[in-house]
Structure formats: structure tokens, C-alpha cells
Amino acid sequence: MITQKMKYALKALLALADEAAREAPEPLTIEEIARRSGTPKRFLEHILLEVRNAGVIASTRGRSGGYSLIKKPSEVSISDLLRRIDGPIAPLPCLSRSAYQRCEDCTDEASCRIRKVFAEVFWSYLLIIDSLTLADMLRSGQTAAQVLGE
């Protein structure tokens, strides 16, 4: 399950991607991103900073400043963003690629039936989530709220 913070990040990125697709795109202020994406402005500043630090968007200061998408939507990995915003996505710490930890109560990972079952489900999930990009979300032809189930 993704967090509300991740949903807000995706909604903001969809708004920025829609703007980037216009004939004469302009940077969007936090207020404008909040309005277009239907997200609370008070959460966006911190979220956009994380997305900017991931190299997906850029911020411009000044009177005509704001945020702009700097990567192509097809280059924005949803799984990378999910890990950056929400942290590890594995259902068990012993299955995590980026935050592996041995389970304290496990005596043998190789024979752990819980790990084996969740590993199968998780690897299937990874095949899908690792291939998903912002472009896939844009192609769906739905608004950000519809894509995110609101």
C-alpha cells in the first residue's frame, strides 16, 4: 500500500507532466500544483523537495519561478520514486534490496516458508512496479485523481 505522501507526489508529478506537454510550458508554483492536483499545499513543499533531490524536477526562483519536470515521463520510475518517498517496499525486511535485514526470529532463511511465500508474491509485484513509469500513468487517459483512486 502506498502512503498518502506518495499519492501527493504522484499527483504533483502528473500536474507537472501535463504542463510539460503543453506548447509553451511554464514553471508551476506550489499553489498552482496544489490547485491542479487537488493536494494540500502545506504538504507539497517537503514532497517536492524530495522529488527535486531525486533529479526528477527542478525549481526556479524568482517572479516567474516554480517547479518544472526535467525528466521525460518515460524516464520517471514509479518504483524508484516509491522507494524514495515511502522507503523499502518489500513485505519482509529479509526480502528488501535496499534495506535488507535478517529477521530476528529466523534461524534459516533458505528454509523459511514465510519468506518463500512472500518472496514469490513480492517478485511478481516487482516485475510490474519496476516497469511502471510516469508515462504509463499519463497514457491511462484519466485524471490524476482517477488514476490514484480518489
- Residue 106: pLDDT over 80: yes
pLDDT > 70: what percent of the chain? Answer: 93
Residues 6+ positions from 8 with CB-CB distance below 8 Å: 37, 39, 40, 43, 44, 47
CATH fold of 4-74+134-147, please? Arc Repressor Mutant, subunit A (1.10.10)
At 145 the pLDDT is 45
**Which sign does the torsion angle of CA 13, 17, 20, 22 carry?**
negative
Q: Give tens-digit pLDDT for 47-66.
A: 999 999 999 999 998 887 89
**Which grid coordinates are listed for 85?**
518517498
- The whole-angstrom separation of Cα 40 and Cα 8 is 8
At 142 the pLDDT is 56
Show the DSSP H helices in the chain as ranges.
4-20, 30-37, 41-53, 78-86, 113-129, 134-139, 144-147
- Residue 150: pLDDT over 50: no
Q: How confident is the model at residue 144 (pLDDT cuts 50, 70, 90)?
A: very low
| Among candidate residues 34, 35, 31, 25, the one with its CA nearest the CA of residue 69 | 25
pLDDT: which is higher, 65 or 39: 39
Mean predicted confidence (pLDDT) in 16-29: 92
| Among candidate residues 10, 101, 94, the one with its CA nearest the CA of residue 54 | 10
CATH 1.10.10.10 residue spans of the chain: 4-74+134-147
- Residue 131: pLDDT over 50: yes
Which range is least confidently modeled, 9-18, 95-104, 126-135?
95-104
